[in-house]
Amino acid sequence: MNVTRNLSTRYLAIVVEMAVGLLVLPFNVAHLGKAAYGLWVLTTSITAYFSVLDLGYSGALVKFVAQYRAKRDFRGLNEILSTTFYLFVVFGVVTYLAAIVIAVFLDKVLTIAPGQLSVARWVLLVTSIHFALGTACSVFGAVINGFQRYDLNNVTGTISSVVVAVVNVAVLSLGYGLVELVVATTIVKVLTYWVYRANAYRVYRGLDLRPANFRRHRLREVTSFSVFMLLIDWANKMNFSIDTIVIGVVLGTSAVAVWAIGQRLAEVTQRLTNQLNDILFPNIVNHSESSRLDRLQTIFVVGTRLSLATVVPIGMALILMAAPLVQAWVGPDFSDSVIVLQLLSLTVIVRVGNATAQTLLKGADGHRLVAYTNVATAVVNLLLSVVLARAIGLPGVAIGTLVPITVASCFVLFPAGCRRVELPLWRAFADAVWPAVWPAAAMAAYIAVTRPYVPISLVPVLLNMAVAAGVYVVTFFAFASSSTERRFYLSKAFEAVPLTRTLLAGVTGHA
């Protein structure tokens, strides 16, 4: 029930955010212009790296919340939460100081026109307020996740996304510029943190954050795990955020705007299809603590199969319908985004398909391998992207991301996951991968037949993609799943509908 509730509301949040993004992005490009929009994307991409300043404690904290909750050691839990909370406050201050230093030397770091420099500095400083406060408040998110009540923050995030979009449209419609837009939307995001805080105290009523609970030995305990979470987080930022910086340095802000179209769709796809693995992490920690190898094996097989069954139809639809989608969404001026979208969509398929293996290794004592592999992948990604960007432009950056991630996923992490749950590689491929991959042939055949007849308009293009994904789903359920699996999937789907409706009613105050 918890997994269904958490997953259904997470998908609700992602779908709303995706719909908002599809509608608001063209509006923003039209009102701000390609150069200003590219400046916004490029400047805010710097803040994505600020999360590494928490030294991996945020990612580690979820594990310890789940672990101490399973032990019912609430005194130890409050000591860990208090210790990390006050540490996070310090990290938040350091984060904003780092933003100030970067803002001063921004023209030395990025290729920005002199007329854009003042705006870029203001955007960075205002946006950094959100990230600095988010660092301090991340302990509340860890409580929610560790207690497996993602649904509360999912619904809160959904409402916040809608409010941000409304404020965005209102500010630009009134004739204000980029700085005013960033200020207004940041205020909404900061106010949302107070709701997250209330959710944490609602879930864990014994939460007691005070300086007296600060313990050095708790800090050492968390640090022994967080250092590897830091490496993983740093590597993930390198793998999936460094590309924008590379493009800004090598190719300029207009190229960043073109890249952002494909990147935005790829990121939404990744978020939409990778939620199961985040939710499974506390379960993996619990089963690893109790040495339940059979449960871990089931999570590995079923999680991988469902992750692939979720990402393959969306990713393949984006790859096969990239040209009409980009043209219908943002116009022919962004035709160079097509190949970027196709390559990044393939990268997302590989990454999400391997996400359960990574999550299992992180929660079941394989975090060191994940950290070292991700760091090596990030270094290769950076070097390859720089070289290929100079040689062939934007497609080279996408290739520089795809190749190392595919090698690491297929030849290192997935086999390691198989070994951890004592499952032969061929068996894992046969049970988890192949049933979710081969139904893509049916949807590819459908798109090949129908694509020439689809008008270049956003609604018909999206409708055809949805039907193609439906062809995959029908094929997967009818021919790649057993009758027992079909009954299980349907029962969970029926559970999700009333749960989501009830949760929305509880948050909005309506019966």
Segments making up each domain of the chain, as ranges? 1-214, 234-438
**Per-residue H/E/C for 6-32:** HHHHHHHHHHHHHHHHHHHHHHHHHHH
Q: Are 161 and 83 in contact (CB under 8 A)?
A: no
pLDDT of residue 110: 67
Q: Two tokens at 104?
A: 């001063």
Q: Two tokens at 42?
A: 């490029």
CA distances from 432 to 297, 304, 319, 444, 467 (A): 11, 6, 23, 21, 25
CA distances from 495 to 86, 264, 338 (A): 40, 31, 38
CA distances from 206 to 77, 142, 257 (A): 10, 15, 47
pLDDT of residue 295: 86
Neighbours of 441 (CB within 10 A): 12
The length of the chain in residues reads 511
CA distance 62 to 440: 35
CA distance 252 to 219: 43
Neighbours of 332 (CB within 10 A): 8
Q: What residues contact 187, with CB distance under 8 A and at least 6 apart?
A: none
Instruction: Report pTM.
Output: 0.69
CA distance 194 to 330: 36
**Which 8-state DSSP code applies to residue 410?**
I
Q: Two tokens at 334?
A: 């962004």
CA distance 194 to 84: 18
Neighbours of 14 (CB within 10 A): 22
CA distance 153 to 145: 9
For Cα atoms 26, 190, 105, give the angle at the middle one, nearest 5 degrees: 75
Cα–Cα nearest to 8, from 153, 202, 151: 151
Q: What residues contact 276, with CB distance under 8 A and at least 6 apart?
A: 7, 303, 306, 307, 310, 356
Cα–Cα nearest to 88, from 14, 2, 193, 183: 193
Q: Two tokens at 391?
A: 């040689």
Spell 216-228 as b/e; 16+ CB within 10 A means b: eebbebbeebbbb
pLDDT of residue 48: 67
CA distance 508 to 504: 6
Per-residue pLDDT of the chain (511 residues; tens, 9 = 90+): 566 677 777 777 777 877 787 788 788 887 777 777 777 777 777 776 676 666 777 777 888 887 788 778 888 888 888 888 888 888 888 888 888 888 888 777 666 667 777 878 888 888 888 888 888 888 888 888 778 777 887 888 888 888 888 988 888 888 888 888 888 988 888 888 888 888 888 888 888 888 888 888 888 888 877 778 777 777 776 766 678 778 877 877 678 888 888 888 888 888 778 777 777 777 787 777 667 788 889 999 999 999 999 999 999 999 999 999 999 988 888 888 999 999 999 999 999 999 999 989 987 778 889 888 988 998 899 899 899 988 998 899 999 999 999 999 999 999 999 999 999 999 999 999 999 999 999 999 999 999 999 999 999 999 999 999 999 999 998 888 877 776 766 665 555 555 445 444 444 444 3
Q: Are 400 and 388 in contact (CB under 8 A)?
A: yes
Instruction: Tell me which residue has tokens 């305990």.
Output: 221
